[in-house]
Amino acid sequence: TNDATPVSLASHFLDIETGHEEHAAAAGARADALDEAKRGKLLRWSRITKDVEVKKATSGLLRGSIASPSPESRSSFVKRGVPSVKKTILNEVSGCAEPGSVMALMGPSGSGKTSILDVLSGRSSYDGGTITLDGEIVTDRVMKKMKKKIAYVKQSDLFFGNLTVRDQLMYTAFLRLPSSWTKPRKLAEVDRIIKQLCLDKCADTPIFMVSGGEKKRVNIGSELLTDPSIVLLDEPTSGLDSTSAVALMRILECLAKRAGKTIITSIHQPSSAVFFGFDKLMLLADGNVVYFGTPAGSLKHARSLGMACPDGYNAADHWMDLLVVDSAAEEEDDDDMMDDTFRDDGDGGGGRDSWNDNEAPGAIRRMKKRALGAAAQDLGVSNKQKLISAWDGEAVALKIDDEFALTRRASSVMVSDDGGEGLMSGAGGGISLEKSFNSTWWTQFIVLVHRSMKNSRSAIFTKLNLIKSGAMGVMCGLIWFQMPYTEATVFDRSSYYFFTMTFWVFDAMYTAFLAFPLERSIIFKERSSGAYHLSAYFMAKTVSEAPTRIALPLIYMCTSFWLGAVNNSFGIFLGSTLCSLLSVLAGESIGLFMGAAVLDMEKGMVVMTVTALTLMVVGGFYVRTIPNWVQWLGYLSPFKYSYNSSVQLVFDRPVPCDGSGLLSVCEGADTGTASVADVLSFLGVEGSPGFNVGLLLVIFIFMRMFAFLALKGKKAGEREM
């Protein structure tokens, strides 16, 4: 299959020299050997294009550069002045990946490797082209159904660090495996994945404590649990040592050959053994395909263009040298030549007679430069540009279109012969009938509640948080220690409640605000793979975190209330504590809404700070006379309603006058009492306790609804992640 001449570029594609019949027969024989329910899918893509708009960066105090542009770089400075330009990320990219094979995407940084993976996985939109799965054109509806059958292992390993490796795989199994499976069967599947990926030793270790290679295998295992037909991996060997990288690639090869999976992986600079182990290779540069075929065929293609790889040189490194245009690398080569030429021979003399030219440290590099010299200097065109121009991408696209047409015709014949039954298994029409989720909404909710409570226990019920709550309670109890129920302490009692509301509502607001931005990547990753409904996640988070959120304020109230002798009635303690805890939940709802609406941490922090302080100021404690045009803000403040309801509860009887002159109704006398109405009027309290509690419930419920809608509105952007 590798005898095709390099000039006939289309013949490199799939190494087909004997026509469609031989290729179809080979593919059919291999497919028949696999279990129909578990085999991979034939994935084709033709003429995929994607453009993005790049806007000029205007952040910082100064927009210009600290250095004046040199004549050589003046043109680049002029280009930077353009407000926005369109950049081509993918330019007419065509290719295919078959079941039982491993295909590699190679190219320098920014060549489009991750972009094409994002497009093929349905995580990113594209401007033009066609994608097909087993002969069916992939639409948005089809891709939504197929998400759970396409595993996408991204370069970054995103997990909840407090979970153990087994926990992560268990939750994934319960969420993504069919509800019809029994619990023992799901547990057995988890054990199988742990054994298959050699994770036995770290199975019960928290993920934040495992090594990079183990974390990468956990990432792969989480995707393999669903028995996907297609596995996409974005530079899975990045950050791994050579031994771990080779072991990981062997695992992928076994998945392809033994389980019949369709595997596509991007990789930067593999070793020679790994490079020639791939079944297919696609080389990319600046969003363009420069080669598609077998790894061995890529060297013939390079040789046909006068860019042959020197003997003994890593083929992958050779291709990267061709595709990367880096003046610094050229200067380094020149320096190496100078170093080798004038190196001391150890006898005090320097010169070329002291060593063999072919054994010098820079010998292979110089041989390579001489081999590529003619091609690189041809009319001033770089090797990369020559490679881009030389590859006939349209021939590959036409080949894919022809094969797709053959598949469609075969499917039509099968449908007519079987009376429509063949549609389910042949052309991939059954894809459209796939369910979007394997598990029911209720199963997702229960599993996510359990996971969220485990995370909350690790994140909220820490020793430091418990110490903080107890210490704050003791401190406030000592500051307001055993207050007498008299005229002089009226303001002190009201200030105790406002401080309590301010501290704990702020704590809930900011903690909840950080929830979505910190979990954003994990949520979008799991959602994009079809793991669960967004509503199931949101309801689970609400149900699981609300009780844990009020535990710490409850510790504070139990300590400070009785130390301060705010009120000796146990019923008043329960009522005021309930108001305080409800204000915490209302503040948490506001924080969740802000975190969902503004996922950018820096911008969100600004919005959150301004909002929280504004709601506190209009709460009625600091400012009594608020301008009419901003009075409406007070009706949005949980501080206002919690303060009003709690103060009304604590002043449950007339207040004795003590001559302090705080209340005008006492007229400075130390006898008599001030009625509850007079005290509440002095404090500016409005509405009944029930009215204020009701509005706290309104804020709690409606702000959570708005948070859900805001998070749901981000769904379209998750594909770009």
How does DSSP classify residue 480?
Answer: T
Distance between CA atoms of residues 38 and 259, nearest Å:
7
| Lowest pLDDT segment from 132-146, 302-316, 389-403 | 132-146
CB distance 1 to 294 below 8 Å: yes
Nearest partner of 249 among 226, 270, 222, judged by Cα? 270
In-domain check, residue 668: no
Residues 435 and 446 in one domain: no
Q: What is the mean pLDDT of residues 14-38?
A: 43
- pLDDT band of residue 637 (cuts 50, 70, 90) is confident
The single residue listed with the structure tokens 């979007």 is 436
What pLDDT score does 474 carry?
A: 93
In this structure, what CATH number is given to the domain that contains residue 97? Answer: 3.40.50.300
Q: Which of 56-65, 104-113, 230-239 is most confident?
A: 104-113
Of 191 and 373, which is predicted with more confidence? 191
Token representation of residue 262: 């369709």
- Three-state secondary-structure class, residue 661: coil
| Lowest pLDDT segment from 434-443, 455-464, 485-494, 587-596 | 455-464
Nearest partner of 97 among 288, 358, 354, 279, judged by Cα? 279
- Based on the number of CB atoms within 10 Å of its own CB, is 64 exposed (0-12), middle (13-18) or buried (19 or more)? exposed
Nearest partner of 392 among 301, 291, 523, 476, judged by Cα? 291
In-domain check, residue 75: no
What pLDDT score does 29 carry?
A: 44
In-domain check, residue 580: yes
Residues 259 and 137 in one domain: yes
Residues 481 and 586 in one domain: yes
- pLDDT band of residue 66 (cuts 50, 70, 90) is low
Residues 164 and 30 in one domain: yes
- pLDDT band of residue 698 (cuts 50, 70, 90) is very high
In-domain check, residue 662: no
- pLDDT band of residue 694 (cuts 50, 70, 90) is very high
CB distance 474 to 562 below 8 Å: no
Which of 365, 391, 417 lies at the terminal end of a domain, its last residue?
Answer: 391
Residues 314 and 181 in one domain: no
Residues 239 and 386 in one domain: no
Q: Which of 53-62, 98-107, 267-276, 376-385 is most confident?
A: 98-107
In-domain check, residue 76: no
> Rounded mean pLDDT of the chain?
77
- pLDDT band of residue 436 (cuts 50, 70, 90) is low
In-domain check, residue 459: yes
The sign of the dihedral angle between the CA atoms of 568, 569, 574, 576 is negative
How does DSSP classify residue 315?
Answer: H
| Lowest pLDDT segment from 320-324, 559-563, 619-623 | 619-623
Q: For residue range 448-489, what is the model confidence (pLDDT) as tens digits?
A: 988 888 877 666 777 888 898 999 999 999 999 999 998 888
| Lowest pLDDT segment from 227-231, 419-423, 690-694, 713-717 | 419-423
* pLDDT at position 648 over 70: yes
Supply φ then ψ for residue 539, to 5 degrees: -65, -40
How does DSSP classify residue 221?
Answer: H
Residues counted in the chain: 721
* pLDDT at position 699 over 50: yes
Residues 474 and 583 in one domain: yes
In-domain check, residue 78: no
CB distance 225 to 186 below 8 Å: no
In-domain check, residue 643: yes
Residue 562 belongs to what domain range?
441-653+689-720
Residues 48 and 114 in one domain: yes
Residues 334 and 461 in one domain: no
Token representation of residue 244: 């771990």
Rounded (5°) CA angle 591-586-479: 95
CB distance 50 to 89 below 8 Å: yes
Structural domain count of the chain: 3
Q: For residue range 476-526, what is the model confidence (pLDDT) as tens digits?
A: 999 999 999 988 889 888 899 889 988 998 988 888 888 777 777 788 778
Nearest partner of 555 among 481, 467, 464, 494, judged by Cα? 467
* pLDDT at position 351 over 70: no
Give the DSSP H or E segment for 411: helix 393-418
Residues 334 and 266 in one domain: no
Q: For residue range 166-181, what is the model confidence (pLDDT) as tens digits?
A: 998 999 889 888 888 8
Which of 333, 362, 391 lies at the terminal end of a domain, its last residue?
Answer: 391
Residues 328 and 251 in one domain: no
Residues 422 and 484 in one domain: no
User: In the chain, how long is the greatest CA-to-CA distance?
Assistant: 115
